[in-house]
Amino acid sequence: MIEFLKRFGLGILYVVLSPFFLLILALFTIYGLGLFLFMAVKACILFFTGRSVFDDMPEDTEAKRRLGQLVDEPLNRPFRSKKAVKTVTAEPIEEPKEIVKEEPKEEKVSSEPEPKAEVEPTHALAKPELPKKDGEVK
């Protein structure tokens, strides 16, 4: 019941404030139309210079670089504009290498003889000859 009363109060408040909401909507409509026209003109200009209005901003590129997500732009994103490629620093990020401690090797002392290394077979079947071409002299 309290929830209903709260909604009832808010309903009255919305009705009272509705002219201000409509005013904000009207102002943003004018702003939005202006913004759209500006962005459309900008997109046209950028299109003829080989770029796009939706390219990464320099801040995005920097953020990606810091996150370690930077990848080889020309290979993985071929449809991006040249600007995006230019802004990217192509330096590869070196990952820290793990230092592996070398453990001292234990010398095996055994009476058994070491197994002999396998010798490649020398008979003719081991290396089959390629079929001779016509006219070839052995």
Partner 1 sequence: MMPFLIKLTENDKRILIAICIVVFLVFILIGYLGLLIERIMKRQARDLDTSMHDIVSTSVVDNPRYFRRIAFKKNARLFYKQSRLSFLLVFVSVAFLYFYLLSIRNFDLTFLLDYQTKGINTLFFIFDWPNTPHAIFFGMNLPSGWPPLLSAPHFMIEAWPSYIFMPLFTIGMVWLFINIQALIARTFRLLKMSSDVYKKSLDTVVPGADFKRTKE
Q: Find out whether 61 and 84 touch, Cβ atoms under 8 Å.
A: yes
Selected from 23, 45, 47, 60, the binder of partner 1 by CB under 8 A is: 60
4 part of the interface to partner 1, by CB under 8 A: yes
Cβ proximity to partner 1: between 43 and 127 the closer is 43
Q: Would you mind telling me the total number of residues written for the chain in this entry?
A: 138
Least gap, CB of 3 to partner 1 (angstroms): 10
127 part of the interface to partner 1, by CB under 8 A: no
CA nearest neighbour of 88 among 111, 61, 59: 61
Q: What contacts 120, CB < 8 A, 6 or more positions away? A: 126
Hey, what's the torsion of the CAs at 52, 46, 71, 87, to 10 degrees? Answer: -150
Selected from 22, 44, 45, 57, the binder of partner 1 by CB under 8 A is: 57
71 part of the interface to partner 1, by CB under 8 A: no
Q: Find out whether 64 and 87 touch, Cβ atoms under 8 Å.
A: no
Q: Name the residues that contact partner 1, by CB under 8 A.
A: 4, 6-12, 14-15, 24-25, 28-29, 31-32, 35-36, 38-40, 43, 53-54, 57, 59-60, 62-64, 66-67
